[in-house]
């Protein structure tokens, strides 16, 4: 017999790719939460996706509850969206000139986001990412008011522009960072961070700084610290207080826009339509392509260049291929699609609740329409970032991995919402239901 061969770990294509990635890409990923840092293990490198399913480097399939972090409302690679992209691509990838599609998309959003005869989207400017949309909206409210300060809420995430990273949700929350290095103190000082759902704190901030506040930016329903809905009357008070002081209100619907309702949160809001000045969109509006937008009151939006003095531009802004994907997605996203997504969310929430109850894990499942998230170790539905953080987050990694082992891919952080799609059919939902009981038991120990 030859020399003893040491036992070998079975080859794992995802782990091998992750190792290779880390040699050339910081942390191996191009967006931090993808690295699985808060749940551990090697991220699944995806090779393709279809409907409710994603497939990893090993060829394993998973029922997907990430949906590209929101955009895939119709499910992955919807044939009509792929066709629209293919057709647009054959005509040219980018022109740097206006196209009819951009006009059509602006008209589509204008017509969709309305209640009776009211629409808040008199004008729409297309950009490439949600970060750009909120960054431009901030510049616009400062340009419109001539004031420097912005109010944001702790745990809300508006992308990664300098002024909006303080106490942000999403990956910033997942990594437990209060802010980002590289943001100069004078820039950070222009952002006042307040607790969410706290009208008294908002009133106090305006009492003290009202004549220097340009605007308030708020997630329409917070979903980047898990889901935290605005309390009854909070948004209405926010708009009133801001407007009384001559400040503008930006409702950030990058995540909720066209996901929870044909008209976004603005169209769905149980409190009725809000008199916000600007709304930002991303994710679903591009159907999985890099497209985002800001829209709102004509007199404010027309301050943008070339009409006004507030500059914004982009080589790829309104990219024709992305616009084609966006138009196809919005045209397909009819009442039936939202009904299916709502029903799928209801089914998963019911099964999740039952599984955790049976396993004896205290929990809450806060919801904003079809968006929901998990709170572990307490049954209190959180109303702000402090309450979100006051949970037993350590229960999540075993839960996550038990789901993954059974072929269900969840967002790899307890601070993220779960995303259903119209492609989550009975087969996909049954697989989620079957996986939940043992994952809940893993969260119990
Ligand atoms: N605003 C909200 C509410 C978001 O959820 C996100 C992304 O998750 C952003 C802004 C930033 O968008 P993007 O990642 O496209 O830059």
Q: Which residue in the list 56, 64, 269, 283 is annotated as catalytic?
A: 283
Task: Choose the residue to mutate in 33, 230, 282 for probing ligand 1, maximizing ligand atoms within 8 Å of C-beta.
Answer: 282
Q: Which residues contact 36 (CB under 8 A, 6 or more apart)?
A: 42, 43, 412
* Ligand 1 atom showing the smallest separation from residue 282 Cα: 15
Residues 165 and 155: their CA atoms lie apart, in Å, by 10
ipTM here? 0.99
* pLDDT the model gives residue 185: 86
* Atom 7 of ligand 1, residue of closest alpha carbon: 159
Give me ligand 1 centre to Cα 359, in Å: 34
Per-domain residue ranges of the chain: 13-77+335-444, 79-332
Distance (angstroms) between ligand 1 centre and the Cα of 360 equals 35
- Choose, from 56, 64, 235, 252, the residue flagged as catalytic: 252
Architecture of domain 79-332: 3-Layer(aba) Sandwich (3.40)
Nearest CA to ligand 1 atom 5: 255
Centre a 10 Å sphere on the Cβ of residue 92 and count the other Cβ atoms it contains: 10
Low-confidence ranges of the chain (pLDDT < 70): 1, 172-178
**Quick one: pLDDT at residue 193?**
95
Q: Report how far ligand 1's centroid is from the alpha carbon of 351 (Å).
A: 29
Q: Enumerate residues lining ligand 1, CB below 6 A.
A: 69, 129-131, 134, 157-159, 170, 219, 224, 252, 254-255, 282, 292
Give the number of the atom of ligand 1 that is nearest the alpha carbon of residue 170: 8
Q: Which long-range contacts (CB under 8 A, 24 or more apart) does 359-368 make?
A: 359/437, 359/440, 359/441, 359/443, 359/444, 360/444, 361/395, 361/440, 361/443, 361/444, 366/226, 366/227, 366/228, 366/229, 367/227, 367/229, 368/221, 368/223, 368/227, 368/229, 368/256, 368/260, 368/265, 368/417
User: Which CATH number is 13-77+335-444's, of 3.30.465.10, 3.90.1150.10, 3.40.1030.10, 3.10.110.10?
Assistant: 3.90.1150.10
Phi, psi of 196 (to 5 degrees): -75, 150
Can you tell me which atom of ligand 1 is nearest the CA of 280? 1
Q: Which ligand 1 atom is the nearest neighbour of the CA of 256?
A: 3
What is the whole-number distance in angstroms between the Cα of residue 21 and the centre of ligand 1? 24
The total of other beta-carbon atoms located within 10 Å of residue 384's CB is 20
| Per-residue tokens: 273 | 């339509």
* Ligand 1 nearest-atom number relative to CA 132: 16
The answer to whether 252 is a known catalytic residue is yes
Q: What are 173-232's pLDDT values in tens digits?
A: 666 666 788 888 889 899 999 999 999 999 999 999 999 999 999 999 999 999 999 999
Residue 212 DSSP class: G
Task: Using the mean position of ligand 1's atoms as its centre, give its distance from the Cα of residue 426 in Å.
Answer: 30
**Cα distances (angstroms) measured from residue 8 to each of 5, 12, 301:** 8, 11, 62
Distance, CA of 93 to CA of 437 (rounded, Å) = 47
Give the angle 341-401-418 at the CA atoms, nearest 5°: 20
Q: Are 420 and 386 in contact (CB under 8 A)?
A: no
Q: Give catalytic status of residue 283 as yes or no.
A: yes
pLDDT of residue 168: 74
- In terms of phi and psi (left: phi > 0; alpha: psi -120 to 50; beta: otherwise), the region of 377 is left
- The secondary structure element, H or E, covering residue 276 is none
């Amino acid at each position: 017999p030859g020399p003893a061969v040491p036992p070998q770990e079975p080859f794992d294509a995802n782990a091998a790719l992750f190792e290779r990635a880390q040699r050339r890409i910081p942390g191996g990923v191009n967006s931090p939460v993808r690295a699985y840092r808060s749940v551990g293990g090697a991220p699944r490198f995806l090779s393709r996706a279809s409907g409710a399913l994603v497939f990893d480097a090993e060829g394993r399939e998973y029922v997907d509850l990430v949906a590209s972090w929101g955009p895939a409302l119709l499910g992955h690679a919807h044939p009509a969206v792929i066709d629209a992209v293919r057709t647009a691509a054959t005509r040219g990838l980018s022109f740097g000139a206006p196209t009819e599609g951009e006009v059509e998309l602006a008209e589509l959003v204008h017509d969709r986001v309305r209640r009776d005869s009211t629409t808040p989207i008199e004008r729409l400017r297309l950009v490439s990412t949600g970060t750009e949309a909120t960054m431009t909206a901030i510049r616009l409210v400062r340009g419109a008011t001539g004031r420097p300060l912005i109010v944001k809420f702790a745990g809300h995430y508006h992308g990664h522009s300098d002024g909006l990273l303080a106490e942000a949700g999403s990956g910033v929350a997942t990594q437990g960072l209060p802010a980002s290095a590289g943001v100069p103190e004078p820039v950070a000082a222009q952002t006042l961070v307040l607790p969410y759902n706290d009208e008294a704190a908002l009133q106090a901030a305006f009492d003290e700084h009202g004549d220097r506040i340009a605007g308030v930016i708020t997630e329409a329903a917070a979903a980047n610290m898990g889901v935290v809905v605005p309390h009854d009357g909070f948004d209405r008070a926010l708009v009133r207080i801001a407007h009384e002081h001559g400040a503008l209100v930006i409702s950030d619907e990058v995540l909720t826009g066209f996901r929870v309702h044909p008209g976004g949160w603005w169209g769905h809001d149980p409190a009725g339509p809000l008199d916000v000045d600007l709304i930002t969109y991303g994710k679903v509006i591009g159907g999985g392509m890099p497209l985002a937008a800001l829209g709102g009151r004509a007199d404010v939006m027309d301050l943008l260049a070339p009409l006004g003095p507030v500059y914004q531009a982009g080589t790829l802004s309104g990219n024709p291929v992305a616009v084609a994907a966006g138009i196809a997605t919005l045209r397909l996203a009819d009442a039936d699609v939202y009904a299916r997504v709502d029903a799928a969310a209801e089914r998963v929430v019911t099964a999740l609740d039952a599984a955790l109850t049976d396993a004896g894990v205290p929990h809450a499942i806060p919801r904003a329409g079809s968006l929901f998230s998990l709170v572990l170790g307490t049954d209190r539905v959180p109303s702000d970032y402090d309450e979100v953080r006051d949970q037993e987050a350590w229960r999540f990694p075993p839960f996550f991995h038990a789901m993954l082992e059974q072929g269900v891919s969840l967002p790899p952080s307890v601070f993220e919402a779960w995303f259903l799609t119209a492609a989550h059919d009975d087969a996909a939902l049954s697989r989620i239901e079957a996986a939940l009981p043992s994952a809940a038991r893993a969260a119990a120990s």
